[in-house]
Amino acid sequence: MSSAEILNELREIMIDVFDVDDLEVTPATTAEDVEEWDSLSHVRLVVAVERKFKIKFKNSEIEALKSVGDLVNLIEAKTAA
Amino acid sequence: MSETASDPLAEILAGLPNTRAVIDSVLAVWPEHAAYLAKSLQARTPAMLAATEAAATAVRRLTAGNEATVAADYRWTCDRLREEELFFHREERYRLSTFAEAMAEVYSDHAYMARYVNGLLLTQVLWFNHVATFEMFLNRVLGAQTQPFDYLEVGPGHGLMVYFAAASSLSRSLEAWDVSAVSLRETAAALDKMGVEKPVSLTEVDILKAGQSERRYDLIVISEVLEHLERPEQALRFLTTALKPDGRIFVNVPLNSPSPDHIYLLSSPDEVTALVEGVGLKVETMELYATQAKKLESALRNRITVSAGLVARRA
Ligand SMILES: C[S@@+](CC[C@H](N)C(=O)[O-])C[C@H]1O[C@@H](n2cnc3c(N)ncnc32)[C@H](O)[C@@H]1O
């Protein structure tokens, strides 16, 4: 899957997890840009991503995630392995 | 330290000096928590803000001289809870399921418990769902008493609710039971610090082993305890027999609330009603408050924590 495809999937997951109608995301998007993205929804986002891509994150990886781009890169690395 | 609070907070906190002091102590050790706290505060009704300030006034007496440590412990507690959240959403269950496990991992670890208890104390001011059920307790449980009442609380913890029950001019006798002697000693110390004026009898009782109640009560409170029990229905069955015929019980229990020592998972309001009514009680009112005042339906669907506060009578 290309990073553009991952980004698109991710956007749909975020819309679902944050319970919003629509969402504009770019690799530069961070929690500060999205009102519904707080520490609690971050946990649900991570778990939804794990399910969708059949991968598992380490705690240290979850803590290090700062932007949508970080998440895309991590998904790419994990699904390529 | 007023500059640490962001503008929307400053406005809401203008008439709430003790709430402001608690929040400033937390932002000093955890500035990134400001947006969360702003949202939590903005969602509160005037009655909830008054309850917030009442809780904060008591909390400041309890933490005087120790504010920075307690604030750091709150941050630490939130980190532990986030770990449990991760497990819960991955596995769709609480990590521990027996009292023996919780004892081994949490209750017997005094250093861990000390931090955890401090952290939970601040949630009484900082978390929307905790303040909301506390406001229900103050105004629609205690506030609804019209006659002198005998009060029993199981698992008083920080003692805030017994304290406010004691402050009611209508409370005639006050008892609190807890399985843990350590916890009871802390409740006693807390009541002392808050300056409770009426006598409160504190007794070591395992609610799951209580036999026949010697006394009957007008008002029984069990708040944030059922989720710690292997057999919550057994506790409720006993408490039903301890109610006077027209007595009321206030139950506060969180749904989908992963925590190191939560072992009994309730996921919906219907499950709570079934649990309570299954022992011969009739639910009169139930109020539901989601974390951060999120929409209820969406919170339940997404398994976000919702506090359920209910008043019941013998059926
Ligand atoms: C989380 S605290 C609740 C504090 C406070 N009531 C509140 O609403 O925040 C739970 C309390 O229940 C007590 N507890 C747990 N199991 C119990 C049992 N079997 N019988 C009596 N008390 C118990 C614990 O020792 C602890 O003090």
Question: Tens of pLDDT along B219-250?
Answer: 999 999 999 999 999 999 999 999 999 999 99
Q: Is the pLDDT of residue B25 over 60?
A: yes
In whole angstroms, what is the distance from residue B132 CA to residue B47 CA? 9
Q: Is the pLDDT of residue B47 over 80?
A: yes
Identify the residue among B81, B259, B302 best suited for mutation to test binding to A, counting A beta carbons within 10 A and taking the highest. Answer: B302
**Residue of A19, A43, A47 with shortest CB distance to B82:** A43
**Residue of B36, B292, B302 with shortest CB distance to A44:** B302
Residue B313, φ and ψ in degrees, nearest 5: -130, 170
Superfamily of domain A3-80 in the CATH hierarchy: ACP-like (1.10.1200.10)
B232 and B205 Cβ atoms separated by less than 8 Å: no
In whole angstroms, what is the distance from residue B219 CA to residue B239 CA? 10
Report the gap between the CA of A20 and the closest CA in chain B (Å): 11
Q: Is the pLDDT of residue B72 over 70?
A: yes
In whole angstroms, what is the distance from residue B83 CA to residue A62 CA? 11
**Å from CA of B233 to ligand 1 middle:** 15
Q: Which residues line ligand 1 (CB under 6 A)?
A: B 154-157, 177-180, 183, 206-208, 223-225, 228-229
pLDDT value at residue B212: 82
The residues pairing with B203 across neighbouring beta strands, listed in sequence order, are B177
Structure tokens at B270: 């219907």
In whole angstroms, what is the distance from residue A78 CA to residue A56 CA? 8
A63, amino acid identity: E
Question: What average pLDDT does the segment B3-31 reach?
Answer: 87
Q: Is the pLDDT of residue B298 over 60?
A: yes
pLDDT value at residue A81: 65
Chain B within 8 Å of A60 (Cβ-Cβ)?
no
Q: Which residues of chain A have pLDDT under 50?
A: none
In chain B, the percentage of residues whose pLDDT exceeds 70 is: 98
Question: DSSP class of residue A29?
Answer: -
**Chain B partners within 8 Å of A50 (Cβ):** 90
Q: Is the pLDDT of residue B3 over 70?
A: no
- Predicted TM-score (pTM) of the model is 0.94
Helix (H, G, I), strand (E, B) or coil at A67: strand
Report the gap between the CA of A24 and the closest CA in chain B (Å): 21
Q: How confident is the model at residue B1 (pLDDT cuts 50, 70, 90)?
A: very low
Radius of gyration of the CA atoms of chain A, in A: 11
Q: Is the pLDDT of residue B4 over 80?
A: no
- Is there a contact between A43 and B291 if contact means CB atoms under 8 Å apart? no
Dihedral, CA of residue B293, residue B295, residue B296 and residue B301, to nearest 10 = -120
In whole angstroms, what is the distance from residue B55 CA to residue B160 CA? 7
Cα angle value B267/B269/B270 (rounded, 5°): 95
pLDDT value at residue B85: 97
Chain B within 8 Å of A50 (Cβ-Cβ)?
yes
User: Tell me: the pLDDT tens digits for B126-185?
Assistant: 999 999 999 999 999 999 999 999 999 999 999 999 999 999 999 999 999 999 998 999
CA atoms within 13 A on the CB side of A54: 3
Q: Is the pLDDT of residue B5 over 50?
A: no
What are the sequence ranges of the domains in chain B?
Answer: 128-314
pLDDT value at residue A40: 85
- Is there a contact between A44 and B78 if contact means CB atoms under 8 Å apart? no
Question: What average pLDDT does the segment B48-65 reach?
Answer: 98
ipTM: 0.91
**Chain B partners within 8 Å of A38 (Cβ):** 35-36, 39, 292
Chain A within 8 Å of B78 (Cβ-Cβ)?
yes
Q: How far is CA B261 from CA B56, B97, B116, B173, B224, in A?
A: 25, 9, 10, 31, 11
Superfamily of domain B128-314 in the CATH hierarchy: Vaccinia Virus protein VP39 (3.40.50.150)
Three-state SS annotation for chain B: CHHHCCHHHHHHCCCCHHHHHHHHHHHHHCHHHHHHHHHHHHCCCHHHHHHHHHHHHHHHHHHCCCHHHHHHHHHHHHHHHHHHHHHHHHHCCCCCCCHHHHHHHHHCCHHHHHHHHHHHHHHHHHCHHHHHHHHHHHHHHHHHCCCCEEEEEECCCCCHHHHHHHHCCCEEEEEEEECCHHHHHHHHHHHHHHCCCCCCEEEECCCCCCCCCCCCEEEEEEECCHHHCCCHHHHHHHHHHCEEEEEEEEEEEEECCCCCCCCCCCCCHHHHHHHHHCCCEEEEEEEEEEHHHCCHHHHHHCCCCEEEEEEEEEC
- Is there a contact between B292 and A40 if contact means CB atoms under 8 Å apart? yes
pLDDT value at residue B2: 43
